[in-house]
C-alpha cells in the first residue's frame, strides 16, 4: 500500500477591510488567535496561522484589508497585504457575499494582476445573502477572474468552512511540515498580548480612537510564584484620545485592563499582573521613526 502524500504550503487570505478574514482564520484554527472587531482595519500586520490536519499542514497568512492609504501606517498595511499574494502556493480572496459583486470587479483584477498562484474566491457572510441570489452572485464573480473555485461560507457560523479547508489541502503541493505540529502561530507571545489590548480598545471605544492606537509591551516577566507580570504602553496621537482611553476616574482604562488580563490569562494559562500606561505620541501613524518603534515598518 502506498504511503499517503503529505501536502503543505502557504495560503494567503486577502480582501477588503471587514470582510471577515481574521474571523475565518480563527474558525479554521479552532482558537481565537487573530483579533477581530466590527470596525475595519483591525488587522495591521501579516500574521501566520498554522493548521495541521491528517496528511498536511496549511500555513495561512492573515493580512490587513486592502484600502486606500492616507498615512504611512495605512501604506504599511496595504503593502503587507499586497506582498502576501507573491510567493505563496494558494490565495484565498475573501469577499463579503452580501456586497454587490459588480463593485468588487475592479479591485479583484487590480490585486490579482500578474499573480501566478491559483486563487479561490471565498464568499463570506452567506447567511446574510437573500435566498435565491447566491448562484447569481457566484456567476458574476466567475466572470470577473479565472478563479480555481468559488466557495460560499459563513465564518461566523462555520457553514462551508470544513469544505474550504479540504479543498485548500487538496490543492497544495507535496511538501514538508514547516512548523512543529503543536503551535498555532510563529509570532511571539508579546505580540499577541499587545494585539489583545488593542482589540479591547477597538471594542470599548469609538470614533477615531482605535485607529490612533498602538500598543507596545514594555516588559514581560514570569515571577517565581508563576505570575506573569506585563507592562504595556498604549500610544495615542492626541490628548483628547488619552482622556477617552483613561476615562472618568480611570474607569475606561480599568475596563480595558480587566478584559485584556482575562483573555491573556486564558492564552498563557497563568495568572497575569497587567499594568497599562497611556502616552501621547503625536501623529505617530505618519511618523517613520515611530512606526518602526511600534513594529509597523520593516
CB atoms within 10 A of CB 112: 18
Compute the average pLDDT of residues 230-243: 96
> Is 109 annotated as contributing to ligand binding?
no
> Is 19 annotated as contributing to ligand binding?
yes
> Is 288 annotated as contributing to ligand binding?
no
| pLDDT higher than threshold 90 for residue 215 | yes
> Is 156 annotated as contributing to ligand binding?
no
> Is 126 annotated as contributing to ligand binding?
yes
* pLDDT for res 76: 79
> Is 282 annotated as contributing to ligand binding?
no
> Is 16 annotated as contributing to ligand binding?
yes
Task: Out of 3.30.300.20, 3.40.50.720, 3.20.20.70, 3.30.70.100, select the CATH number for domain 189-294.
Answer: 3.30.300.20
**C-alpha grid cell, residue 26:** 480563527
| pLDDT higher than threshold 60 for residue 298 | no
Give how far Cα 294 sits from Cα of 3, 107, 285, Å.
Answer: 47, 30, 10
The residues, ordered by sequence, that sit 6+ positions from 161 with a Cβ below 8 Å of its Cβ are 24, 27, 28, 153, 154, 155
**pLDDT single digits (tens) 124-151:** 999 888 878 999 999 999 999 999 999 9
Distance CA(114)–CA(104), nearest Å, equals: 18
> Is 240 annotated as contributing to ligand binding?
no
* pLDDT for res 1: 43
> Is 64 annotated as contributing to ligand binding?
yes
> Is 218 annotated as contributing to ligand binding?
no
> Is 269 annotated as contributing to ligand binding?
no
> Is 186 annotated as contributing to ligand binding?
no
Architecture of domain 7-171: 3-Layer(aba) Sandwich (3.40)
* pLDDT for res 37: 67
Query: Domain boundaries in the chain?
Result: 7-171, 189-294
**C-alpha grid cell, residue 31:** 482558537
> Is 118 annotated as contributing to ligand binding?
no
> Is 22 annotated as contributing to ligand binding?
yes
Amino acid at each position: 500500500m502506498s504511503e499517503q502524500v503529505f501536502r503543505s504550503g502557504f495560503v494567503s487570505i486577502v480582501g477588503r477591510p471587514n470582510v471577515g478574514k481574521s474571523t475565518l482564520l480563527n474558525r479554521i484554527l479552532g482558537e481565537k488567535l487573530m483579533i477581530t472587531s466590527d470596525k475595519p482595519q483591525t488587522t495591521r500586520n501579516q500574521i501566520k496561522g498554522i493548521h495541521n490536519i491528517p496528511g498536511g499542514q496549511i500555513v495561512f497568512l492573515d493580512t490587513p484589508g486592502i484600502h486606500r492609504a492616507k498615512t504611512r501606517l495605512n501604506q504599511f498595511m496595504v503593502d503587507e497585504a499586497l506582498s502576501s499574494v507573491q510567493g505563496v502556493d494558494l490565495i484565498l480572496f475573501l469577499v463579503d457575499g452580501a456586497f454587490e459583486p459588480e463593485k468588487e470587479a475592479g479591485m479583484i483584477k487590480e490585486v490579482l494582476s500578474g499573480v501566478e498562484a491559483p486563487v479561490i474566491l471565498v464568499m463570506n457572510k452567506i447567511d446574510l445573502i437573500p435566498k435565491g441570489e447566491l448562484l447569481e452572485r457566484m456567476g458574476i464573480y466567475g466572470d470577473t477572474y479565472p478563479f480555481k473555485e468559488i466557495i460560499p461560507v459563513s465564518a461566523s457560523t462555520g457553514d462551508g468552512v470544513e469544505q474550504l479547508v479540504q479543498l485548500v489541502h487538496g490543492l497544495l503541493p507535496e511538501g514538508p511540515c514547516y512548523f512543529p505540529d503543536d503551535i498555532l502561530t510563529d509570532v511571539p507571545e508579546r505580540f499577541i498580548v499587545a494585539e489583545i489590548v488593542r482589540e479591547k480598545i477597538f471594542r470599548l471605544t469609538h470614533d477615531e480612537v482605535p485607529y490612533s492606537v498602538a500598543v507596545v509591551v514594555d516588559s514581560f516577566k514570569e515571577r517565581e510564584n508563576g505570575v506573569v507580570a506585563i507592562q504595556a504602553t498604549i500610544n495615542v496621537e492626541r490628548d483628547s484620545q488619552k482622556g477617552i482611553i483613561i476615562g472618568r476616574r480611570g474607569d475606561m482604562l480599568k475596563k480595558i485592563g480587566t478584559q485584556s488580563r482575562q483573555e491573556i490569562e486564558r492564552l498563557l494559562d497563568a495568572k497575569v499582573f497587567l499594568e497599562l500606561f497611556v502616552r501621547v505620541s503625536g501623529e505617530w501613524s505618519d511618523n517613520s521613526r515611530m512606526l518602526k518603534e511600534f513594529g509597523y515598518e520593516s
